[in-house]
């Protein structure tokens, strides 16, 4: 069996990815605030408080969730590389750390990767698109989907997967 090719990939979160996280945060917060408001409104009686408070709760929750999603989305670039020694993740101003990488979502032209440092640090989630990866796209996919690439043990936050 041939070894996977060595490559290095600069990953910078795009504005579209940050916007998608903001929209997801907005939607989740809107659902939760309107659900909570339904309990507050039901305590008043069958007539409730009217439609305006419902709209206010939903819009307020959506704005707060969208703001949180936008502010908490990653902004700094990361360098993901693969060589004979395995995967390495580098951040600006820090030494590259050995890590394990698993694909969590494959949309053909875009991948969501879960990166777990070997030292047991904080898990990172990276989105990589074909356009962003450029010539490293084929090497990245070949390495990620090579036989034995997903041989890592499940972490404490994961169940056994078939």
Instruction: Give pLDDT, residue 162.
Output: 45
For residue 161, pLDDT beyond 60: no
Task: For residues 64 and 21, state if they share a domain.
Answer: yes
In a domain, 112, yes or no: yes
Instruction: Give pLDDT, residue 91.
Output: 87
Mean predicted confidence (pLDDT) in 118-142: 87
CB atoms within 10 A of CB 96: 15
Instruction: Give pLDDT, residue 42.
Output: 75
Contact 147, 4 (CB under 8 A): no
Place of tokens 């053909």: 108
Task: For residues 82 and 64, state if they share a domain.
Answer: no
DSSP string, 31-80: HHHHHHHHHHHHTT-TT-S-HHHHHHHHHHHHHHHHHHHHHHS--S-EEE
Q: pLDDT of 59-102, one tens digit each? A: 999 999 999 989 988 788 889 988 877 899 988 888 888 999 99
In a domain, 156, yes or no: no
The predicted model scores a pTM of 0.70
Domain of 87 in residue numbering reads as 7-13+75-144
Task: For residues 93 and 137, state if they share a domain.
Answer: yes
Say how many domains are in the chain. 2
Task: For residues 80 and 43, state if they share a domain.
Answer: no
In a domain, 154, yes or no: no
Instruction: Give pLDDT, residue 152.
Output: 53
Q: pLDDT of 19-29, one tens digit each? A: 998 999 999 99
Instruction: Give pLDDT, residue 59.
Output: 94
Instruction: Give pLDDT, residue 106.
Output: 92
Mean pLDDT of the chain: 83
In a domain, 151, yes or no: no
């Amino acid at each position: 069996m041939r070894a996977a090719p060595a490559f290095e990939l600069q990953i910078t979160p795009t504005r579209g990815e940050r916007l998608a996280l903001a929209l997801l945060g907005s939607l989740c917060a809107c659902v939760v605030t309107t659900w909570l408001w339904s309990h507050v409104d039901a305590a008043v009686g069958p007539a409730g408080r009217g439609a305006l408070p419902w709209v206010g709760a939903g819009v307020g929750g959506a704005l707060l969730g969208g703001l949180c999603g936008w502010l908490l989305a990653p902004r700094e670039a990361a360098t993901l590389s693969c060589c004979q020694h395995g995967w390495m993740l580098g951040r600006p101003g820090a030494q590259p750390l050995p890590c394990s990488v698993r694909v969590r979502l494959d949309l053909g032209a875009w991948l969501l990767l879960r990166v777990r440092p070997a030292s047991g640090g904080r898990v990172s989630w990276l989105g990589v698109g074909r356009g962003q990866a450029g010539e490293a796209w084929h090497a990245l996919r070949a390495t990620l989907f090579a036989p034995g690439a997903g041989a890592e043990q499940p972490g404490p936050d994961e169940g056994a997967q078939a």
